């Protein structure tokens, strides 16, 4: 079930973000992601509109998507639940509300690049992430583009 983020979801969302970030961004030291936990808790989550996917049987949060306007700031699925359509479901829900979307993704994150391309996103620019020094792409989605 997809629903809006509630304060009691915070620890689960941050745990998913940290674990999935460390795995999918293995080209960046885990310590970098760990250092960002306070920002995630105190800055990014509060300023975002976040939807969570909650397992209807266990009530476990299995994934989430966070937006700031039309910008997808985060889309993460619990590592042990990836490949089950959770990310697709979250993206489908957001597309119903936002006919135009934008995001940044690391060039080395080939799994995410493939996912976003399947979702109809196209690469519009390439730049270097100032915080990590890694190459990233800006991708955009536009309904009926």
Per-residue DSSP letter, 16: H
Torsion of CA 22, 28, 32, 37, to 10 degrees: -30
Determine what percent of the chain falls in helix, strand and coil, rounding each to the nearest 5: 40, 30, 30
Instruction: Please tell me the pTM assigned to this model.
Output: 0.93
- Distance, in Å, from the CA atom of 30 to the CA atom of 106, rounded to the nearest integer, reads 15
For residue 143, name the pLDDT band (cuts at 50, 70, 90). confident
Give 102's strand partners.
71, 140
Give 125's strand partners.
138
Tokens of residue 76, six digits: 């993460």
Note the pLDDT tens digit of each residue in 33-42.
Answer: 999 999 999 9
Token look-up 């941050």 returns 14
Q: Give the model's pLDDT for residue 145.
A: 57
- Distance, in Å, from the CA atom of 103 to the CA atom of 73, rounded to the nearest integer, reads 7
* pLDDT of residue 144 exceeding 90: no
Planar angle of CA 110, 142, 16, nearest 5 degrees: 45
Planar angle of CA 137, 32, 49, nearest 5 degrees: 60
Note the pLDDT tens digit of each residue in 101-123.
Answer: 999 999 999 999 999 999 999 99
- Distance, in Å, from the CA atom of 32 to the CA atom of 50, rounded to the nearest integer, reads 23
């Amino acid at each position: 079930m997809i629903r809006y983020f509630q304060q009691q979801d915070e620890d689960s969302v941050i745990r998913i973000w940290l674990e999935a970030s460390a795995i999918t961004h293995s080209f960046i030291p885990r310590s970098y992601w760990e250092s960002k936990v306070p920002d995630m808790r105190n800055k990014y989550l509060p300023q975002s509109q976040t939807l969570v996917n909650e397992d209807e049987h266990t009530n476990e949060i299995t994934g989430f998507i966070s937006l700031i306007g039309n910008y997808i700031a985060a889309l993460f699925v619990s590592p042990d639940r990836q490949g089950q359509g959770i990310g697709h479901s979250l993206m489908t829900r957001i597309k119903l509300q936002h006919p135009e979307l934008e995001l940044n993704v690391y060039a080395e994150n080939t799994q995410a690049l493939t996912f976003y391309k399947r979702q109809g996103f196209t690469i519009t620019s390439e730049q270097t992430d100032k915080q990590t020094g890694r190459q990233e792409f800006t991708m955009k989605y536009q309904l009926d583009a």
